[in-house]
Every structure is written in structure tokens, then in C-alpha cells.
Amino acid sequence: MAKRTRVTRPKAARIADVAQLAGVSVATVSRTLARPEVVIEETRLRVLAAVRDTGYMPNISARNLRVRKTMVVLVAVPDIANPFFAEVLQGIDDTLSAADYGLIIANLAGSPGKEARYVDLVCAGQADGVLLLCGHVMRSPDRDLRDARVPLVAACEYIPGEKFPQITIDNVDTAREAVGHLIKLGHTNIAYLSGPKSNILEQQRLEGYRQALREAGIAADAGLILRGDFTFRAGVEAGRALLALEPVARPTALFAANDEMAIGLIKTVHTAGLQIPDDLSVVGFDGIAYADYCEPTLTTIVQPRRDLGATAAAELISLMTNGRAGPRKDIKLPATLMLRDSTRAPRRSPS
């Protein structure tokens, strides 16, 4: 005599179950949930009660199939463990979830096969748009993100020759400012610790370094360019290289293409007895949280990380909703030089 329909319910409730319980059609249930104002109060209350009683949740796959949208965007990140990207992601996440979009994070670090899987995912209609933080348009063996017919937006790393919007900072200009700061302090013997040659950010920051020297009438010295790859370890190696030089031959200042290398370098030369900033001034790039934690604190270019993410996300949302959006495609955000304890005028007078 038990009410068997209620007692045994192994599976999740469907819209038809709600409709039956409320004594209305499925269309009415759907409308009640999507546009409550079009059903009269009495029905609405009956439906909502039935929704509560059944614990109904619309099946998202079914909805996506029908409306041909997913309300999801994919974000391609070179390495999620990199604190810089973690903060950009925060900005993206905030903006996207405020607009009721979900977020799939494609962490490209690790096995290279991942990239292809994510491309296929998007091509299979599992995302309405893609945010590229990774400096290139992703591809799978026989497909390309552009085949996916969804809007793309790039941020952080500029991708030359593409027609979608790109949200970046002006790396050339900002690097020039960083090196200009060292020059204003009186340094003329300024080294550069580079990123990987093929990386666009590296190329731009190097260009900024060169421009600053040129403007100050300082001759570029290829021997002052140390090769790195953006990792802490590369900073350590570069530090060792500096220590191996005769003290008089050492530069009095160094501009690192990112903070992690700067910190690795500082740590190494500091342990070996060099004083920072007295013996060597160091400027970094990025403004990661650790730049303010280390000893001494690091003078660096602070990128507007959250803002980069938020702006890129906003741009993508506008593309996804308006089809084609406004006229301006490339947006440059301001980055600022943050003066801290790792820079000072050179101790020995130059030359």
C-alpha cells in the first residue's frame, strides 16, 4: 500500500515528472522556469512546488543540444602552476561567472597531446568561446581552433597576424621604462636576462631594453645578454654566470624578462656575498606576489593581471552575444613600474 511512485525513485527527476506532479504540460514547466511572468500565479506556484518536491534540475546536455549553446568558455593556460596566470584566471573567472558563463581551464603544461584534445572539445561544440593566454592558436592533428566557429580572444601574449581581439600590455614600452629607470639611477652597464628566444614576450621586452639603451646613447653589448627561459632555475644559472665574471667586468644592473628569473638570480648572487642592490640593481617583470616577499623586495613591472583577465573575458562575452562586436580589437592595458628595494644608484661611479 506504500506510494510506490515516491518511494522508489532511483533516477533524477525529468521535466516530465515535474509536469505530471504539477498537473501541467512540460511546456508550462519549462516556461515557468525560463520566463515566470508568462504563466499565471497559480500555475507558477504549483510548478515551483513540484520542482522543489522532485528536486528537479534541467539536464544541461539536453538544453545545450536544443539551444545550441553551452554557456561555457575554454581558457587555454600555458601553466596553471605559474602564479601569474593564476591571477589572470581570477579576473577571467569573476567576469565570466558574473555573466553566468562556466569556465573550462585547459592547462597546457605537461603532455603535449592535451592541446589537441581541447581543440577537439571546442570543435565538438562544448564551448561558446575561447580565451587564449598561451600565445598561439591551438591545433589538433587535423583541426585548428579557427575551424570551431566560435569567437576567440587572446590575452597576455600577443599573437601576430590574427584578426581576433587581443588584450595585452605594451611590453616594448614597459620594458623600456624599466631599463630607463636603471639608466636614470646612473647605470650604464646594464645586463638583460632573457626569456626563450621564440617567445613573443621575450622579443618585445628585449626590444624595449634595446630602445632604452639606444635613447640613452649607450652602446648595446651582446655580452650583456644572458639567455634564460623564464624559470627560477634559469635565474640561478644566470647568477652563477655573473659570479664567474671578474668583479670589475660585472654589470651594475640587470633587467630580467620575468620575476621568477630575477628572484632566482638574486638568491644566487646574494648567497655568494654580493649585495643587492649595492653591488647589483635588479628589475623584474610581471609583479607576482613573491616579488614583494623576497629579500630584498623586487623592483618590477606590475602587470594588471586581474584586469587583463577581466577585460579579455568581457571582450569575449561581447563577441559571443553580439556576434561581431565593437570596432576596437586590440586593447593595451597599462603596466606600472613598482619601485622596491632591489634597485639603487651604482656604488662605483660609472666608467
Residues that bind a copy of itself (CB under 8 A): 11-12, 52, 55, 57-62, 64-65, 70, 80-81, 83, 86-87, 89-90, 93-94, 97, 102-105, 107, 109-111, 113-114, 117, 120-121, 123-126, 142-143, 147, 149, 232, 263-264, 267, 270-271, 289-290, 293-295
Choosing among DNA, a copy of itself, none, which partner's interface includes residue 48 (Cβ < 5 to 8 Å by kind)?
Answer: none
68 binds DNA (CB under 7 A): yes
Instruction: Kindly tell me which of 63 and 270 has the beta carbon lying closer to DNA.
Output: 63
Cβ–Cβ < 8 Å for 143, 119: yes
Pick between residue 18 and residue 201 the one whose CB is nearest to DNA: 18
Amino acid identity for residue 103 in this structure: L
CB 284 within 8 A of CB 259: yes
Q: Which grid coordinates belong to 150?
A: 566560435
Residues 294 and 263 sit within 8 Å (Cβ to Cβ): yes
Contact between 219 and DNA by CB under 7 A: the answer reads no
Give whichever of 236 and 319 is closer to a copy of itself, judged by the CB atom.
236
Under rule CB under 7 A, residue 220 binds DNA? no
Tracing cell 655568494 back to the chain, one arrives at 272
The helix/strand/coil state of 226 is strand
Distances in Å between the Cα of 176 and the Cα atoms of 154, 210, 222, 262, 301 are 23, 8, 17, 17, 11
Cell numbers for 36: 515566470
Q: For residue 293, give Cα distances in angstroms to 249, 281, 287, 288.
A: 30, 17, 11, 10
Work out how close the CB of 58 gets to a copy of itself at its nearest, in angstroms, rounded to a whole number: 6
Residue whose CB is less far from a copy of itself, 221 or 295? 295
What does DSSP say about strands 190-193 and 225-226: parallel, antiparallel, or unpaired? parallel
Q: Considering the complex, what minimum distance in angstroms separates the CB of residue 165 from DNA?
A: 27
Which range touches DNA (CB under 7 A), out of 34-42, 102-110, 208-216, 287-295? 34-42
In the complex, the residues that contact DNA under the rule CB under 7 A are: 11, 14-16, 23-28, 30-31, 33-34, 38-40, 42-43, 56-59, 62-63, 65-68
